[in-house]
Amino acid sequence: MDIVLHIGAHRTASTSFQAYLRANADALEELAVCFWGPKRTRGGLFSGIVPVNGSPRLERQARMAKGRIGLQLERARLNGMRQLIVTDENIIGASRRNLRDTTLYRGAGVRMAQHAAAFGGRITRAVVSIRCLDSYWSSALAYGIGRGHQLPDAAHLEAIVQQKRSWRDVITDLACAMPGVELLVLPHETYGGMPERRLEIMTAATWAAPTRQHRLWLNQAPDMAQLRKYLALRGEDPVRLGPDEGRYEPFTATQRARLRETYQDDLFWLASGADGLAKLMTEKTRDQTGTSPQRDPLTRGQDDDQQEGRVA
């Protein structure tokens, strides 16, 4: 059975993709495709893959997790499933830990090696979603504030900007942790609102993905108005957020530019082949370039006129 691991580093896109899979579960089953989402992976199935710190039986935890997963894989195979999609945005690590560490998924390689071992080396393909770093960190910070984290101060924001770890480092860690596994990278800016294309890429589909409820956008980061409500509910002064409305943007223009430059470097590395570690996925807008309409002339008269200042 073809096993595909979806590593979604953006909570909204991951949640929306999971909702799309649930809405189209019957159609996918007819295509012999099944999926495990957070409701299943966090319901005990993956317990022990990443052992609980301090447990005296770490090897036993990992062994039991591998046994549970093996049984469920065999059950899916007996039910006629040919492909399995495993999708959980916390597989790679939690965004709250990124906020605490002020770095991007430290320890991702260890976690993914543990998951690969739990599947007995049977993972065929891993699909990683990445996002522009200023947008990613702004979204993560907004989620954190909504869940009780303090507003980031200038030093915390600068520490995030200064940290050297980027998506290139994360992808390199994943490739080293899962040797032999095909690694595909999907930029959020292209595929964030296209769950049907995500599915087709993940499964290397020769069929068109079902499109029932395929434009959901769930679990979005709280905006400024929502964040002010959260601060007021816990007794903090919402004025601290400033007068802006809409999306939470804590970084200065200079900091945003630096984060975007790092992301562009990551995309350039991926487009250049990523040292053979991963493949950047892109979308074609059309197969051939059409004829562009001629723009208005910038000189007088018709195209065959000579502009030499003659009166007649």
Q: Per-domain residue ranges for the chain?
A: 2-280
Cβ-Cβ contacts under 8 Å for 283 (sequence gap 6 or more): 190, 191, 197
Strand partners, 128: 7, 185
Confidence of residue 51 (pLDDT cuts 50, 70, 90): confident
Between 95 and 34, the higher pLDDT residue = 34
Report, as an integer, the average pLDDT of 103-109.
93
Q: CA 312, CA 304: separation in Å to the nearest integer?
A: 15
Does residue 148 carry a pLDDT above 90?
Answer: no
Q: Looking at domain 2-280, does it have CATH number 3.40.50?
A: yes
Report, as an integer, the average pLDDT of 283-295.
47
Q: What is the mean pLDDT of the chain?
A: 86
pLDDT of residue 301: 43
Q: CA 164, CA 161: separation in Å to the nearest integer?
A: 8
Q: Where are the beta strands (DSSP E) in the chain?
A: 2-8, 33-36, 83-87, 123-130, 182-187, 279-280
Does residue 266 carry a pLDDT above 70?
Answer: yes
Q: Give the tokens for residue 119.
A: 């599947």
pLDDT of residue 120: 94
CA distances from 162 to 132, 153, 159 (A): 16, 14, 5
Predicted model pTM: 0.86
**For 148, what's the count of Cα atoms within 13 Å in the CB-facing half-sphere?**
1
Q: Give the tokens for residue 135.
A: 């947008």
Does residue 91 carry a pLDDT above 80?
Answer: yes
Does residue 123 carry a pLDDT above 90?
Answer: yes
Confidence of residue 199 (pLDDT cuts 50, 70, 90): very high
- Identity of the residue numbered 89: E
